[in-house]
Amino acid sequence: MNKKGDAAYAAVLVFLFAVFLILYVLLIPADTRNELLDLDTGSSNSGGSSNSGTITGTTSSRVLLDVSPGRIEEEGRTQYEYNLPSVRLVRTTDAEIVKKENPFIIKNSWFEKKPKQIEFEIADKDNINNLLLSFNTLKNEGTLAVKLNTQVIYEKDINQYNSDPIILPKEKLTNGINRLEFSTSSVGVAFWNANEYAFENVKILADITDVSGQDTKTVFNILDSRDNINEARLIFVPECESTNTGRLRIRINADEIFSAVPDCNVLNTVLVPPTYIETGINEVGFKTEKGTYLVDRIKVKTDLKEKREPKFYVYIDEDQWEDISESKYIANMTMEFVVDDEYVNMKVEVNNRDIGIYQRDETFTQIIDSYLEKGNNVIKLSTDDDSVDVLKLTVKIEKRKR
């Protein structure tokens, strides 16, 4: 056989081998075909979703745990303290001039009627008291009539320069623009006469309460479920003068916990029913009914019913355990941290076996095959530092590459 014949014969053999190989791959079971071709058939269970951080050399994974533990605090603590910023409360009442009017004249005759109207504004009538109209009259003839918002509030003959102030009834006021109208009585049949008043030093005065700073609020964040709180207390020091202050009212969220004049300049403690506290963000509101308070050194203290040790559970079924035992799969634990300038110093317990972490990296990875067992597995997190922020804890089993 010549060389060309040998080459053609070899090409036919290669073609036939390729055809038989393709038919074989198509006809064998899917699982065997996937292993042969090294395809990724991993899927996430209902407890989480796949994420980055898998070990190099694996091609398929199943997520068993995917949680965000948050802040891990010192192991075994049963008491927690939440510091709040100081707050200042001010409610003052001062005599103020609401309106000051230039001198004017009112007149009533057969040939001329000249009343006078003055407008003044009230922002909040609930915070205004003792409203008075004060004036002097250089000339006073006839009966003076004064209307407030179209209603007569004063009718009297005035025969002196200095007259008593006129009380402006609070119930006749409105929030916004109010109107005073001045007029004098008719001269009757004496058409040649005129009744006339000449006013000066016209003022509207009132005691006005400034409530813009009488209440304020601050917040704190409870990490525990409120069902785990045995007792809670609010502690504060009010700097005040008891003779010049009114009741101090304090609430937690929507519930009032204190309403009295506190002991000034000493530590005050108020018990807080645990049911008033919410898991997560809580609001503390302060309000004074009179005077000035500087509420300082504010703390909320909680005593827990049991120690706070974050626990997470991983269940490994019989098939997964068989894959791990036979080294078909490896179990990989990954943790992500918030790292500042300090080292991450914490302990991870997997079924009562410790894994120590002391590093500055943001990610920690550990193979935990030898720590696991079939069925339920418990992972506990703890630290000897004040706190460690754990963004993510993931456990997944990953298939080894052949």
CATH at residue 218: 2.60.120.260
Q: Is residue 82 part of a domain?
A: no
pLDDT reported for residue 350 = 95
Identify the domain boundary among 166, 183, 211: 211
Identify the domain boundary among 263, 284, 304: 304
Q: Is residue 85 part of a domain?
A: no
Q: Is residue 158 part of a domain?
A: yes
Q: Which of 157, 167, 120, 112 is nearest to 137 (CA)?
A: 157
Residues 238 and 342 in one domain: no
Q: Is residue 331 part of a domain?
A: yes
Q: Is residue 84 part of a domain?
A: no
Residues 101 and 185 in one domain: yes
Residues 224 and 181 in one domain: no
- Write down the residue that tokens 């073609």 correspond to: 15
Residues 300 and 382 in one domain: no
- Domain interval for residue 10: 1-37
Residues 189 and 202 in one domain: yes
Residues 380 and 369 in one domain: yes
- Angstrom distance (rounded) from CA 241 to CA 210: 19
HSE on the CB side for 24, CA within 13 Å?
A: 8
Q: Three-state DSSP class for 382?
A: strand
Mean pLDDT by 10 residues, the chain (402 residues): 60 72 66 53 34 41 87 73 94 93 96 95 93 96 96 94 94 96 92 94 95 93 78 96 92 96 96 92 95 96 79 91 90 90 88 91 92 93 83 90 65
Residues 240 and 284 in one domain: yes
Q: Is residue 87 part of a domain?
A: no
Residues 96 and 205 in one domain: yes
Identify the domain boundary among 254, 287, 304: 304
CATH at residue 375: 2.60.120
Residues 120 and 49 in one domain: no
Residues 27 and 59 in one domain: no
The first and second tokens of residue 31, run together, are: 């699982």
pLDDT reported for residue 6 = 62
- Angstrom distance (rounded) from CA 202 to CA 204: 7
Residues 206 and 116 in one domain: yes
Q: Is residue 357 part of a domain?
A: yes
Number of domains in the chain: 4
Residues 315 and 273 in one domain: no
- Angstrom distance (rounded) from CA 401 to CA 37: 11
Q: Is residue 245 part of a domain?
A: yes
End-to-end CA distance of the chain: 43
